[in-house]
Amino acid sequence: MKRWIMSLGVFVMATSSVPAAETARPNIVVILADDLGFSDLGCYGSEIATPNLDRLAANGVRFTQFYNTARCWPTRSALMTGYYPQQIRMDPHRGKLPEWTRTLPQWLKPAGYRCYHSGKWHVFGASNPRTDAGFDRSYQIEGGQNNYFKASDILEDGRQLSKQPGFYVTIGVADHAIRCLKEHTEKYSDQPFFEYLAFTSPHFPLHALPEDIARYKAQYLKGWDQVREERWENLRRMGIVTCELSPLETAFTPRDFTPPVLQTLGPGEIQHPVPWAQLTDEQKQFQATKMAIQAAMIDRMDREIGRVFDQIRAMGAWDNTIILFLSDNGSDATIMVRGGGHDRGVAPGSEKSYLCLGPGWASTGNTPFRRHKIWTHEGGVSTPLIVHWPKGIAAKGELRHDVGHVVDVVPTLLDVAGIMPALADGAPPFPGHSLVPALTANDSVIRDYVFFQHEGNRALRMGNYKLVSAMEDKSVWELYDLATDRGEQRNLAAAQPKRVREMSARWQELQEQFTRDAGDVK
């Protein structure tokens, strides 16, 4: 027997939250960037050219306190299912998803939607986007994060692509989305569509087109200290943050770092995010070049997003298409070499090079917050979220300060589509909330908590207080009041031990509950 989910605060019926004039189900586009930092878009303080996303923000709303799970595959699973990854066994070593799990296409298709996937997938337990998750078409990147120039790492509707001269994966992903949308116009124009556009950019390795890199060639010789300051000032001027700029953690060592990698990459690479002035001229040039490639990757992603937007406009679908843009985790401090290795004799950013951003520029991407991808401090889990829907959102360029999490995406999209889900036997209530009320006004979504756990990094946000613990010392909890200290600089744990005890006990309760939800017994 199925049961209706009616828990308070989880769903608002579409008839009460969507404008009455809206009768047709909206088209849905979800755009997910890979390893994009909180401040990597122009509309979130960056110097990188992202005019298409900036215009989207200027005609929609931007969220200032939206969270992911700190890592690519847990975020993607939460985005597709509406559950915390711990509730659905989202781990490479734990097998299939629970039988009760439903993906977003499996909710949308019975309501008449055609569903298209273009880009990275990476959802363990549902390895095939079509047969396991319900997409009608798929362009599935298998190893694209290791080589942006290799088409043969892609499965289109299950068929491996052949080598393609001049291939670049960011363009290929957009091309597929456009093909699907054109086919939709020709064959299925009476149905709404869902397009999941999942770029690998700007995940390592740093691979970009030469003409894109050239636009940023000298941009970053000023160094990460100055760029961080400039982004922080922009964020404050926009009203997105009010906190202090977190200092560089100069003793920080990237995850998976081994000393031999420095020999492979050469004397320009460095292990720690030290002040820019302490670098040699050779190191400054090398690091500035890496950031120029990173900027080029983001710039190109925005250009390709613009082409997809042009196609939606050409279809006459723009006004009734809700678009969400977000990132799967914070900017990544990793320094490693894998895949085909790194050839120091080729141009940086080209196919045979293998460079990673590193902690200096990753700290810039996550301005003004601490830490990076994997960690559950604000730098690892904070994402831009832009929501745009001309027929459904009257606001233009406004900020939303409601706290949200990627588990809210499924409830939100089912809400705007007018779908009240009947959960399968054994399925727990969705932990997330519809964000539709927040599309109209601030302070519209009330939640008890936001939960985080990944590779020994743990956190719990309740109200404005956040309890967080890093993998380096799992026995130590830190406590921050994010209302005044979102940069996580003033640890209140010693001053408020009672709050630490209560919040840590609640974190443990949730961890155990989510384990039971997944059907696991410890």
Reduced to 3 states (helix: H, G, I; strand: E, B; else coil), residue 61 is: strand
- Dist CA 131 CA 179 (whole Å): 20
Each residue's pLDDT tens digit, 301-325: 999 999 999 999 999 999 999 999 9
472 within a domain of the structure (yes/no): no
The predicted pLDDT at position 138 comes to: 98
The number of helices, as runs of H, and strands, as runs of E, in the chain is 13, 16
Enclosing domain of residue 433: 3-447
462 within a domain of the structure (yes/no): no
C-alpha to C-alpha distances, 43 to 291, 307, 512, nearest whole angstrom? 19, 19, 39
Does the predicted model carry a pTM greater than 0.85?
A: yes
- Dist CA 379 CA 366 (whole Å): 5
**Residue range 272-286: mean pLDDT, rounded:** 98
303 within a domain of the structure (yes/no): yes
- Dist CA 57 CA 197 (whole Å): 18
The predicted pLDDT at position 94 comes to: 66
How much of the chain, in percent, has pLDDT values that exceed 70?
A: 94
493 within a domain of the structure (yes/no): no
Structural domain total, the chain: 1
The predicted pLDDT at position 267 comes to: 96
59 within a domain of the structure (yes/no): yes
**Residue range 63-78: mean pLDDT, rounded:** 96
pLDDT band at 95 (very low <50, low <70, confident <90, very high): low
pLDDT band at 2 (very low <50, low <70, confident <90, very high): very low
How many Cβ atoms are within 10 Å of 483's Cβ, its own excluded? 11
- Which residues lie below 8 Å from residue 175, measured CB to CB, with a gap of 6+? none
- Dist CA 47 CA 42 (whole Å): 6
Q: Does residue 200 contact residue 141 with C-beta atoms inside 8 Å?
A: yes
Q: Evaluate if residue 205 carries a pLDDT over 90.
A: yes
485 within a domain of the structure (yes/no): no
Each residue's pLDDT tens digit, 381-398: 999 999 999 999 999 999
Q: Evaluate if residue 118 carries a pLDDT over 50.
A: yes
Beta bridge partners of 28: 194, 322
405 within a domain of the structure (yes/no): yes
Each residue's pLDDT tens digit, 28-38: 999 999 999 99
Each residue's pLDDT tens digit, 130-173: 999 999 999 999 765 689 999 988 999 999 999 999 999 999 99
Each residue's pLDDT tens digit, 463-506: 999 999 998 888 899 999 999 999 999 999 999 999 999 999 99
Q: Evaluate if residue 12 carries a pLDDT over 80.
A: no
Q: Does residue 380 contact residue 373 with C-beta atoms inside 8 Å?
A: yes
Burial pattern 330-351, b for ≥16 Cβ within 10 A else e, equals: bbbbbbbbeeeebeeeeebbbb
Q: CATH code at 305?
A: 3.40.720.10
pLDDT band at 21 (very low <50, low <70, confident <90, very high): very low
Q: Evaluate if residue 8 carries a pLDDT over 50.
A: no
Each residue's pLDDT tens digit, 408-444: 999 999 999 999 989 999 999 999 999 999 999 999 9
Burial pattern 63-82, b for ≥16 Cβ within 10 A else e, equals: bbbbbbbbbbbbbbbbbbbb
160 within a domain of the structure (yes/no): yes
